[in-house]
């Protein structure tokens, strides 16, 4: 162990934890990690349980060995999805996030010592990895109890797992994740809590729960955002796909947005009915369905699923943003796969994978194949809305590993239905073209939107915060706002669009708008829009709508381009929805309008507060058609 510890160049206090523990396993292969997930034995059902003071033995999760992987199920419904308010900051550096000492009226150093003491009493798993991927990532370490092998396997898949025998001599940890699940019961009343402690040369992440979303995934996202804040760059909350049309045109679209905003869906094939037609939308009042026939759809080459590294070492002179995947695997939500045939593209990969996978919130029978449409039932008897799989990139067909130039940055918003009787912010057309200044405002407000399946939240519109990655960040909102504006202003060759999902006015549309937008934009080549094809939206926040949209010889009905033309919405319902949206922007943008914001940023926000037109936004940062 001492030789391996020296290879990882562990700080003295970390070396003290591992050398005084009951034993340490340093897995060198993925196969070893999956064995550890099952208790390092021949188990087909492994309980993950801990002794908790005052509660006795607490069973947190079960891990089932199936033919296609290991299936993790939590006993508590609450642990099956991410709590958006789980992040606390423990250090003295600048932050807009809640501080541990303020929330709990206690010195974090006491909890930190208790955590280290608890880890010393355990058998441990410890291994090195790269936060942000193998090529541009940062040296990192996991220290976890040995019976949490599934968590370790999940983190190793999500990040750039390293074999310690092959570690470079200059390896120096920039981040360490400590896992201590019982503390959620003893210190946090059962809540998911992840505490970030930003030391001068090391970012510590203390994960006090076993759901990997807030720590193994988003906790590492927080590490990258902090490093980027120090160095002046961003990790975007985005999926990215290279789209190749039937005529061999190529375009790269990066789709951003809050959780549930359609990032994973942007790299999925368009969903069709059994007879091949596409359901564009269903009127919630009349139940009328509108169909579209697409004989040939575009080929999709995925680049990123959720985290797009915008590292300065990758940028070039193209004036387009350059991105690369910040993850080694994708944390895919499977709630849209409700029955066999829902998503053939993924069903084949996940049912008969080349390597065993890690599944969460899926029903599993020992020795059988777990089926991704059989979601674990919550206590209510309804299927868990957040079934997941961790899918290594190497198993994703046609995935691109190299950096790509982004032609279009789209932003997704979950929208509720909007009618005259029940107006809402569901007034977006099938897609909108945004001037860069408006695109920046949408990234500051980042509406979390309607009926989010990924996290515990209300049905009302709330803000995910700057960049839509704010729940994972540890620093200052205004700092991230300035970085985003600088990035947008310098990427003059990249264009911006806004896309709703779930509803357009009175029509239920699921993720069809972004699939149609993807097909249409790609067919236009380099995402060029002639000014005469664009019309200013009735609500200036929505930039430009389309005068018409024709794809594969078929015109999309105006009802989907301009919701105010829907009989169920009308101008009355639209304007009421526009007021809801505008008031929400006023509320959210006020927090950025400080002396710390760049002068250009303050000008743009003041324009909005003064009731700016779309042309006013274009004058701030010119838009390429």
pLDDT of 260 reads 82
User: Residue 388 to residues 99, 270, 337: CA-CA distances in angstroms?
Assistant: 30, 20, 11
pLDDT value at residue 295 = 85
Rounded CA separation 278/298 (Å): 14
pLDDT confidence of residue 275: 77
Beta pairing partners, 434:
496
Per-residue pLDDT tens over the stretch 509-565: 999 999 999 999 998 875 567 777 899 999 999 999 999 999 988 999 999 999 999
Tell whether the model's pLDDT for residue 457 goes beyond 70: no
The pLDDT confidence band at residue 454, using thresholds 50, 70 and 90, is low
Compute φ and ψ for 248, nearest 5 degrees: 70, 15
Is the separation of the CB atoms in 330 and 241 below 8 Å?
no
Q: How does pLDDT run across 243-293, given as a tens digit for each residue?
A: 999 888 899 999 999 888 999 899 988 988 877 799 999 999 999 999 999
pLDDT, tens digit (0-9, with 9 covering 90-100), for 518-534? 999 998 875 567 777 89
pLDDT at 530: 75
On the question of pLDDT at 3 being above 90, the answer is no
Rounded Cα distance, 620 and 433, in Å: 16
What pTM, to 2 d.p., does this model score? 0.94
Domain ranges of the chain: 2-43+50-61+83-231, 249-296+406-620
Q: Using an 8 Å Cβ cutoff, are 261 and 501 in contact? A: yes
Q: How high is the mean pLDDT of the chain? A: 94
Task: Please give the average per-residue pLDDT across 565-586, as a whole number.
Answer: 97
Q: Of 201, 195, 207, nearest to 174 (Cα)?
A: 201
Percent of the chain scoring above 70 in pLDDT: 97
More confident residue, 66 or 342: 66
Rounded to 5 degrees, φ, ψ at 178 are: -110, 130
pLDDT at position 608 is 97
CATH number corresponding to 249-296+406-620: 3.90.228.20
Of 123-137, 241-255, 445-459, which range is least confident?
445-459
Residues 150-170 have a mean pLDDT of: 94
119 is written with which tokens? 């880890």
Averaged pLDDT for residues 46-73: 96
Query: What's the pLDDT at 448?
Result: 81
Options 3.40.50.300, 1.20.1050.10, 3.40.449.10, 2.30.30.40; CATH for 2-43+50-61+83-231 is: 3.40.449.10
How many residues are given for the chain? 625
Look up residue 432 and give its two tokens.
Answer: 């909108």
User: Which has the minimum average pLDDT: 283-287, 373-377, 454-458, 550-554?
Assistant: 454-458
- Span of 3-17, 307-321, 352-366, 391-405 with lowest mean pLDDT: 3-17
Q: How many CB atoms lie within 10 A of CB 265?
A: 23
**Rounded to whole angstroms, how far apart are CA atoms 257 and 464?**
9
The CA distance from 441 to 481, in Å, is 9
Return d(Cα 473, Cα 497) in angstroms, integer: 25
Over residues 330-372, the pLDDT tens digits come to: 999 898 899 998 888 889 999 999 999 999 999 999 999 999 9
pLDDT band (50, 70, 90) for residue 432: very high
Q: What local confidence, expressed as pLDDT, does residue 1 receive?
A: 62
């Amino acid at each position: 162990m001492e030789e391996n510890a020296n290879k990882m160049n562990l700080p003295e206090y970390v070396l003290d934890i591992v050398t005084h523990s009951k034993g340490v396993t340093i897995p060198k292969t993925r196969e070893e990690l999956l064995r550890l997930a099952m208790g390092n034995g021949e188990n087909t059902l492994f309980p993950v349980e801990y002794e908790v003071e005052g509660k006795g033995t607490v069973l947190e999760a079960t891990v089932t060995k199936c033919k296609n992987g290991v299936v993790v199920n939590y006993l508590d419904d609450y642990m099956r999805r991410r709590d958006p308010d789980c992040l606390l900051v423990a250090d003295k550096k600048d932050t807009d996030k809640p501080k541990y000492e303020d929330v709990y009226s206690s010195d974090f150093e006491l909890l930190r010592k208790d955590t280290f003491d608890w880890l010393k009493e355990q058998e441990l798993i410890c291994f090195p990895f790269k936060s942000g991927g193998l090529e541009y990532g940062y040296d990192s370490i996991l220290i976890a109890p040995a019976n949490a092998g599934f968590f370790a396997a999940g983190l190793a898949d999500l990040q750039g797992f390293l074999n310690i025998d092959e570690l470079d001599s200059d390896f120096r940890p920039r981040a360490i994740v400590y896992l201590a699940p019982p503390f959620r019961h003893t210190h946090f009343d059962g809540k998911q809590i992840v505490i970030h402690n930003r030391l001068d040369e090391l970012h510590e992440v203390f994960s006090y729960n076993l759901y990997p979303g807030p720590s193994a995934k988003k906790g590492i996202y927080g590490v990258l955002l902090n490093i980027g804040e120090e160095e002046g760059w961003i990790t975007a909350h985005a999926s990215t796909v290279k789209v190749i049309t039937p005529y061999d045109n190529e375009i790269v679209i990066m789709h951003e947005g809050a959780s549930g905003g359609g990032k994973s869906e942007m790299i999925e094939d368009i969903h069709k009915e059994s007879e091949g037609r596409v359901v564009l939308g269903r009127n919630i009042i009349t139940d009328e369905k509108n169909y579209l026939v697409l004989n040939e759809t575009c080929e999709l080459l995925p680049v990123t699923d959720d985290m797009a590294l915008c590292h300065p070492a990758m940028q070039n002179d193209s004036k387009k943003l350059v991105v690369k995947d910040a993850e080694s695997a994708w944390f895919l939500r499977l709630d849209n796969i409700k029955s066999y045939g829902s998503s053939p593209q993924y069903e084949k990969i996940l049912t008969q994978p080349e390597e065993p996978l890690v599944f969460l919130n899926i029903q599993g029978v020992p020795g059988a194949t777990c089926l991704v449409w059989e979601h674990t039932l919550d206590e209510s008897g309804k299927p868990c809305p957040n079934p997941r799989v961790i899918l290594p990139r190497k198993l994703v067909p046609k995935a691109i590993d190299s950096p790509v130039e982004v032609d279009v940055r789209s932003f997704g918003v979950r929208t509720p239905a909007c009618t005259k009787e029940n107006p809402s912010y569901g007034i977006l057309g099938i897609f909108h073209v945004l001037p860069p200044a408006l695109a920046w405002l949408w990234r500051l407000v980042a509406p979390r939107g309607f009926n989010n399946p990924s996290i515990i939240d209300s049905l009302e519109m709330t803000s995910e915060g700057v960049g839509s990655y704010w729940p994972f960040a540890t620093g200052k909102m205004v700092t991230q706002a300035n970085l985003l504006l600088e990035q947008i202003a310098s990427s003059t060759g990249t264009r911006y669009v806004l896309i709703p999902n779930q509803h357009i006015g009175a029509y239920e549309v699921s993720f069809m708008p972004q699939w149609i937008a993807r097909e249409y934009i790609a067919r236009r080549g380099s995402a060029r829009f002639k000014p005469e094809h664009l019309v200013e939206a009735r609500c200036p926040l929505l930039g430009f709508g389309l005068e018409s949209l024709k794809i594969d010889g078929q015109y999309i009905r105006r009802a989907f381009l301009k919701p105010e033309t829907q009989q169920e919405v009308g101008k009355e319902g639209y304007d009421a929805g526009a007021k809801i949206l505008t008031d929400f922007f006023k509320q959210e943008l006020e927090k950025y309008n400080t002396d710390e914001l760049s002068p250009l940023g303050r000008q743009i926000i003041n324009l909005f507060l003064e009731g700016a037109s779309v042309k006013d936004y274009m004058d701030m940062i010119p838009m390429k058609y």
